[in-house]
């Protein structure tokens, strides 16, 4: 059963078309990763899925009453503001201490309830954001480059936690990531985005696809060649890809 159906989605900001004719579905319980260079429309896609951006064209259909949990890329909290983790998790609505404890435990940081937000390490902070997303018992967890700023072991541990959460709760996960070599192994399916869907499939299929290699290179699963897009691959007319539009938008 699909939780979200995106059909022929296009998003334009003024004259800038950032997504053209993107279609995808997210099924219950699957881990789907979106990869793509900077400015390729990943965040815009995610924001359209949660309803924060209106499609210019196309539709986003969420299954009735689907519960979403969103882990943002970053959240700035004024370091001079005293606030415990438990208090933070009770904003904007009060949450029972047992629910806070359960969410923190699921996020892998069971002992942090009374810690000060300003004293958390980067990895602990991201897990608290994960705990916040888990409080509503989401059926779909959306993560927007949630490991930005963490070192490689830190992000690998974070993604293992995500897999554990999926295992425990059965939620589906949609994540955006630049750390392809790390998330690829944790994903059931990968979509490579560059204003349009360049290629998609299992991690193995995407990693060996010429479109993916053109974007990310092939060394260490592309990890060393991020963000380069030479447009040296060809699209066939039947795949509906139009790079001229994306390039004009960049
Ligand atoms: N609210 C907005 N108004 C105008 N332009 C926007 C808005 N949000 C994003 N953009 C532009 O749309 C393009 C795609 O941005 P988006 O954040 O979706 O890409 P991204 O793939 O997530 O990028 P990154 O990897 O750098 O986070 C960028 O050129 C960006 O400047």
pLDDT tens for each residue of 135-186: 999 999 999 998 888 888 888 888 889 999 999 999 999 999 876 777 777 7
pTM over 0.80: yes
Would you place residue 118 in the very low, low, confident or very high pLDDT band (cuts 50, 70, 90)? very high
CA of 16 relative to ligand 1 center, distance in Å:
10
Q: Is the CB of 36 under 6 A from ligand 1?
A: yes
Would you place residue 218 in the very low, low, confident or very high pLDDT band (cuts 50, 70, 90)? low
E strands within 101-247?
A: 140-144, 172-176, 189-193, 197-201
Has residue 45 been placed in a domain?
Answer: yes
Q: Is the CB of 43 under 6 A from ligand 1?
A: yes
**Which ipTM was obtained for this model?**
0.96
Q: Has residue 202 got a pLDDT over 60?
A: yes
Query: Do 124 and 152 sit in the same domain of this protein?
Result: no
CA of 39 relative to ligand 1 center, distance in Å:
5
Query: Do 93 and 211 sit in the same domain of this protein?
Result: no
Has residue 231 been placed in a domain?
Answer: no
Calculate mean pLDDT across residues 8-32: 96
Cβ neighbours of residue 211 closer than 8 Å, sequence gap 6 or more: 192, 198, 199, 233, 235
Has residue 48 been placed in a domain?
Answer: yes
Which ligand 1 atom is nearest residue 45's CA? Answer: 18
Query: Do 189 and 133 sit in the same domain of this protein?
Result: no
Query: Do 4 and 128 sit in the same domain of this protein?
Result: no
Which ligand 1 atom is nearest residue 53's CA? Answer: 1
Please give the mean pLDDT across all residues of the chain: 85
Domain count, the chain: 2
Has residue 98 been placed in a domain?
Answer: yes
Query: Do 119 and 53 sit in the same domain of this protein?
Result: no
Has residue 250 been placed in a domain?
Answer: no
**Radius of gyration over alpha carbons of the chain, in Å?**
18
Instruction: Name the residue at shortest CA distance from atom 9 of ligand 1.
Output: 44
Query: Do 174 and 99 sit in the same domain of this protein?
Result: no
Q: Has residue 217 got a pLDDT over 90?
A: no
Query: Do 167 and 195 sit in the same domain of this protein?
Result: yes
- Domain residues for the domain of 212 are 1-67+140-223
Q: Is the CB of 38 under 6 A from ligand 1?
A: yes
Render pLDDT for 42-70 as a digit per residue (tens, 0 to 9). Answer: 999 999 999 999 999 999 999 999 999 99
Has residue 247 been placed in a domain?
Answer: no
């Amino acid at each position: 059963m699909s939780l979200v159906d995106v059909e022929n989605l296009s998003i334009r900001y003024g004259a800038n078309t950032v997504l053209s004719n993107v279609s995808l579905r997210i099924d219950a319980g699957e881990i789907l990763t979106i990869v793509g260079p900077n400015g390729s429309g990943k965040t815009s896609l995610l924001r359209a899925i949660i309803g924060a951006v209106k499609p210019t064209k196309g539709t986003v259909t969420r299954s009735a009453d689907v519960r979403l949990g969103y882990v943002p890329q970053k959240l700035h909290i004024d370091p001079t503001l005293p606030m415990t983790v438990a208090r933070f998790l009770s904003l904007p609505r009060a949450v029972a201490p047992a629910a806070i404890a359960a969410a923190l435990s699921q996020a892998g940081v069971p002992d942090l309830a009374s810690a000060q937000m300003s004293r958390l390490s980067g990895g602990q902070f991201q897990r608290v954001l994960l705990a916040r997303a888990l409080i509503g018992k989401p059926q779909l967890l959306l993560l927007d480059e949630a490991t930005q700023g963490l070192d490689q072991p830190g992000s690998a541990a974070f993604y293992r936690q995500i897999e554990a959460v999926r295992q425990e709760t059965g939620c589906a996960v949609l994540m955006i990531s630049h750390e392809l070599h790390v998330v690829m192994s944790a994903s059931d399916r990968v979509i490579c985005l560059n204003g349009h869907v360049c290629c998609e499939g299992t991690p193995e299929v995407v990693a060996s696809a010429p479109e993916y290699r053109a974007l990310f290179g092939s060394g260490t699963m592309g990890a060393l060649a991020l963000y380069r897009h030479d447009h040296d691959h060809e699209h066939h007319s039947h795949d509906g890809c139009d790079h001229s539009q994306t390039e004009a938008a960049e």
